[in-house]
Amino acid sequence: MKSTKYVVTSQDSDVLPSDIALKIYELGREINIKETCFGVIIDGEEDDVEATVKEIRAMDPSNIFIKDRGFPPGDPRRCRGHRGGGARPGFYMLQHESEILPLISRGLAAEARGEEAPPEIGTKKRPSLERLEEMINEEFS
C-alpha cells in the first residue's frame, strides 16, 4: 500500500528542503518527492517510505518532524494548481504548528542531551468561597 508523508523542518534547522530531497535521491528508493517551502512531501510504497523516514530523521533528529498525509502529492482534489489557488485544506494547522516547532525542537534537544525534566510550577488557584469570605471579614471587620 502507498503512503504519503510530510517532512517539515523547524525554523532553527540548518537542513534545507533541497538537502532532504538530495538525501532521498541518494538513497535510490522509488519515492516521489515534492519540495515545498516548509519541507518535502514524500510518496511511495509504505516500507520504502518508513525506511526513508528513519534516514531523514537522522539528519537532524530534533528539528525534523514527520506527519502522515491522506492525499498523494499533486492530487487534483487538493492541489492549488487545480483548484484555482488559495491555501489547501490542512495548511492552517501546519502553519499553526510550524510556529511552535522551534520550541518543541529545543525541548527535544534538551531531552537528547539528557537534561532533567524541568520542575512543575505551581499555578495560583482562585480562593475558595470560604477563603474569600474570611478575607472580606478580615479586611472589613
Partner 1 sequence: MVKVMVYPPTSMILADLVERKGHEALVVSKEVRKKIVTPGLDSPPLNMTPEDPKKGLKYAAVDVPSGVRGRMALLGPMIEEAEAAIVIRGDDCTLGCTGCARTNELVRFLLKTKRIPLIELEYPGDEFQAKQFVFKIREFLEGLN
Asked whether the beta carbons of 83 and 93 are under 8 A apart, the reply is no
Determine how β-strand 2-9 pairs with β-strand 64-69: antiparallel
C-alpha cell at 134: 474570611
Q: Is 101 in the site for partner 1 (CB under 8 A)?
A: yes
Judged by CB under 8 A, the residue of 34, 67, 79, 88 near partner 1 is: 67
d(Cα 105, Cα 100) in Å, to the nearest integer? Answer: 9
For partner 1, how many residues bind (rule: CB under 8 A)? 35
Q: Is 69 in the site for partner 1 (CB under 8 A)?
A: yes
Q: Is 88 in the site for partner 1 (CB under 8 A)?
A: no
> Looking at residue 87, what DSSP letter applies?
P
**Site of interaction with partner 1 (CB under 8 A):** 1, 3-4, 6, 8, 57, 65-72, 75, 77, 90, 92-94, 96-97, 100-101, 103-104, 106-108, 110-111, 115, 117-118, 120
